[in-house]
């Protein structure tokens, strides 16, 4: 009898231990899923300054993901500079705990393909959460121009096309298409925000190659028209892929289309635990299906065409598989250099603790630029300084790129 009682006691003890393990592992396991994010702050990095498309989508996604991860708090942090590289590097180097996510320009695919200096990320290893939109590229031409079709452009005399700074995705795409397709385009770089539209209205430029969502209202208001499109399902202009026959040119068009197809994505660093990543992907999916998010996007004139998780990872992988000729064209575009200009005089405006400054060029034109916290050499009264030291009224010599690149190389203030 004693042996039976002992055996029974031992068995119950074992069951109790197993139950205890089960009870202990339950909350721990749950902490890897949605419960992990309760009471936590998720930093969402946007690799641009406030305002613009990336900031719009970043805040839209962050707000909606917070809603669908109960108990979490999402904080948007803008990290502009170096054509989105600073923000992308920061996301990649963050702790893989699921508490840092962000968004940046898919044009960094170009930079990784050519091994651009300053890149400290590998897009194939990032934790892909999802993408919010597809944003096809379009050839936009002024309504006052005699160019009405893509064939007209090919046959025309040289015309001015606007882009943002040299090395930007817009610049690279315009240059490689002009070179590969033999288009009579002269690139005028340095237009930011809506400056290109204003320049088109003034007659300074004839055309632009850019994201369709940025120009739809401009076109609807009668200032310009589309003569070709890369990607998307719109029927009001022909697909560029149908207008080119050369195999190398078609490969370039396909590469550019991949940038639009993966537009406005959300990613985290490599190695986020599987359950946490699955939770983030589920929250992102719920965010994209949220009626409030869709209404805000519609009001802002921004498309919502999502894809999720591994599907986005596969799209990125495919975009990074390019033939040597395509990579050579990219290298030629990204290695373009320009001479530096210098301006001397007072800083007219200083905003966001030195992250944005305005000064007068030698011809009196106002220049607004964004010093880098790591690459712009700043000296004040002969001593090494930081952006915080920059104040309106300081007399400085600024070394900058006259094409309008957003990052001066040096600021020397007295």
Would you state the pLDDT for residue 21?
39
Q: What does pTM read for this prediction?
A: 0.70
Q: Give the three-class secondary structure for 282.
A: helix
53-67 vs 274-288: helix crossing angle, rounded to 10: 110
Question: Which residues, 6+ apart, have CB-to-CB distance to 276 below 8 Å?
Answer: 32, 33, 36, 37, 97, 98
CB 87 within 8 A of CB 137: no
Domain boundaries of the chain, sorted by first residue: 1-27, 34-133+263-331, 137-259, 341-413
Q: DSSP secondary-structure letter at 124? A: G
Contact yes or no for 122/316 (Cβ under 8 A): no
DSSP for 11-66 reads HHHHHHHHHHHHHHHHHHHHTTTGGGGTT-EEEEEESS-SSSHHHHHHHHHHHHHH
Dist CA 207 CA 161 (whole Å): 5
Residue 23 pLDDT exceeds 50: no
Same fold, 137-259 and 341-413: no
Reported as a single tens digit per residue, the pLDDT across 269-299 is 999 999 999 999 999 999 999 999 999 999 9
Q: How many CB atoms are closer than 10 A to CB 238? A: 15
- Quote the pLDDT of residue 169: 77
DSSP secondary structure string for all residues of 217-248: HHHHTTSEEEEEEESS---SS-BGGGT---HH
Superfamily in which the 34-133+263-331 domain is placed by CATH: Bordetella uptake gene, domain 1 (3.40.190.150)
- pLDDT recorded at residue 152: 98
CA–CA separation, 163 and 327 (whole Å)? 21
Q: Which fold has domain 341-413?
A: OB fold (Dihydrolipoamide Acetyltransferase, E2P) (2.40.50)
Superfamily of domain 137-259: Periplasmic binding protein-like II (3.40.190.10)
């Amino acid at each position: 009898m004693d042996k039976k009682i002992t055996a029974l006691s031992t068995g119950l003890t074992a069951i109790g231990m197993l139950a205890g393990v089960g009870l202990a592992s339950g909350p721990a396991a749950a902490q890897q899923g949605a419960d992990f994010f309760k009471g936590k702050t998720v930093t969402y990095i946007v690799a641009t300054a406030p305002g613009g498309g990336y900031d719009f989508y970043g805040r839209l996604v962050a707000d909606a993901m917070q809603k669908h991860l109960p108990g979490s708090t999402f904080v948007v942090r803008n990290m502009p500079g170096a054509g989105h590289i600073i923000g992308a590097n920061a996301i990649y180097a963050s702790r893989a705990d699921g508490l840092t996510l962000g968004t940046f320009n898919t044009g960094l695919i170009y930079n990784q393909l050519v091994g651009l200096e300053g890149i400290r990320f590998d897009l194939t290893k990032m934790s892909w959460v999802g993408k919010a939109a597809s944003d096809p590229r379009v050839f936009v031409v002024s309504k006052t121009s005699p160019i009405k079709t893509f064939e007209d452009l090919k046959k025309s005399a040289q015309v001015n096309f606007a882009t943002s700074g040299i090395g930007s995705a817009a610049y690279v795409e315009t240059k490689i298409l002009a070179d590969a397709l033999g288009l009579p385009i002269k690139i005028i770089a340095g237009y930011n925000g809506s400056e290109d539209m204003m320049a088109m209205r003034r007659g300074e430029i004839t055309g632009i190659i850019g994201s369709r969502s940025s120009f739809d209202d401009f076109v609807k208001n009668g200032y310009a028209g589309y003569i070709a499109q890369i990607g998307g399902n719109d029927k009001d202009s022909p697909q560029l892929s149908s207008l080119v026959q050369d195999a190398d040119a078609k490969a370039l068009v396909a590469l550019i289309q991949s940038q639009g197809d993966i537009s406005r994505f959300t990613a985290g660093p490599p190695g986020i635990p599987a359950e946490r990543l699955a939770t983030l992907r589920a929250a992102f999916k719920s965010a994209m299906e949220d009626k409030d998010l869709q209404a805000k996007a519609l009001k802002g004139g921004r498309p919502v065409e999502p894809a999720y998780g591994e599907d986005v990872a596969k799209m990125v992988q495919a975009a990074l598989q390019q033939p040597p000729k395509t990579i050579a064209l990219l290298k030629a575009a990204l290695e373009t250099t320009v001479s530096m200009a210098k301006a001397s005089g007072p800083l007219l405006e200083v905003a966001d603790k030195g992250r944005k400054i305005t000064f007068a060029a030698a011809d009196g034109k106002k220049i607004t630029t964004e010093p880098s916290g790591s690459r712009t050499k700043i000296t004040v009264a002969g001593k090494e300084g930081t952006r915080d030291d920059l104040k309106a009224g300081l007399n400085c010599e600024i070394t900058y790129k006259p094409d309008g690149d957003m990052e001066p190389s040096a600021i020397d203030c007295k």
